[in-house]
Structure 1
């Protein structure tokens, strides 16, 4: 079936008008927007919504799912994670409706989606920060530079950089046990690109798409060093110790004030545009997601986007703006406002 962008925009604009009337009515009656369902529920019965992808984005989406299903219990929403790359594999094969992503869609993934006629709407939903951590009993490491991270993680380090003093001469000659994102993770892709400037890093480390496994690994190994999203650090402060990167510690405040660079990053959901056109439940779920993303992302430990970013995202969704504002790779020097205003390509 050939996707038609104009009908999608018309259809979703109608949805937007109905939702807007509901929000206006709710505010006039003194109700709260966060918990009030929008009035399309007669169409939302036994529809199914399939979500997969990033483990980093999963806590936000999962919280949204739970709140949505309190209002729409007859809609089945399946939410799981297999990593950003794994999610895009399923998304571009038409197997899921929404792909959670901790990085922008890559050039190769975009090509696969294009060949399969899977048009998508790209929606930033929060900020995260990659957090480099060590064991709490580590007494020597308090900070690292991006250059030192590259020395440790680049492909050329495999089998050669094995001890702490090889990274910084004042550190002890102890073996380093490395823990990091698995190769299907968008966190891996982002870290590799920003830190090493390459798509691949050394492979002689313990990798997983499940960040909880990485937390436990670093916690149990004195000589460990690992990295994962800020959310998992915030919920495990008693198990790991963060390192300042280029002199700045990872924190919600330092992500907000843009001083924790270049390891801060936007997080995304990618929506199958044709599925949103055909499935009222999916369209209503996205409306609910964008309406509540600012509040929910903060409540589960992430950094919300500026409020106007969600408004722009809603406009893009209702107008059916398909494609990506990125060039197949992260662009850490662009603000989220600049990204949202860029012309999208597909």
Structure 2
């Protein structure tokens, strides 16, 4: 079973580690049996096959090699993704798109624009409306072209097993996540937590008022009230910043403040991307994220000596949950 070996390698697990993790989930398959499955010397019974498929979050038919492998990127896959990025950005094919296609295309374009703005990517001199702009997309959005979910959905679209709107949605989510990972910070987190509700509320009221507008005066009044409320929010934010109330409303304990920013950000990113780490994190007896991150890396035999040494020199980071 080549697929089983590929999936195991993708999770960076040895046969023994896979056997142990399956055991934790109530599935008992020895490392020797797993090796025989991979070599094709023995076929797993249906209950074992289903348990393995559930563990790797794939279908039984995929594990058996019956279902096509949509995880491999080909030239056709890449061109499909690039063409869609280009079409969405220049709003091409709008006459052919319907319903969700149009809305999702706008989401892709907005995500591209936000990421480009935050990453200081210039469009005007690099993009040509009449070409695919392959070099531009490969250089500046390579993370989209290499994203597993994007590749899988693009291949399914090529095989007519997915809809265009699905690929658009996956691409916009991929770009938004990358943008958040690269540019998110405590300042923006605080802004979002304190003011997002008020901002969305004001826009929601505007949309509601416009539904009942019967003339131009009603429309103008609706916008005027919305802008007035947004101006009030802007003044609140300015006051918070000037008074110093904006930074941290939560008083962090010293152990949290000791966390090296680089490794804290790495732990945060891994938590978003790795289901195994999220599960490990929730079960850990330790409190401080970088300590949990260090323990997880050790378990995976990917220890960062610099981080482990830092934690060793700062015993407060070993604080455990109450």
Q: Tell me if TM exceeds 0.5.
A: no
Higher Cα radius of gyration? 2
Between structures 1 and 2, the one with greater helix share: 2
TM-score by length of 2: 0.25
Structure with greater strand share of residues: 1
> What is the TM-score normalised by the length of structure 1?
0.24
Q: Which has the higher contact order (CA 8 A, sep 6+)?
A: 1
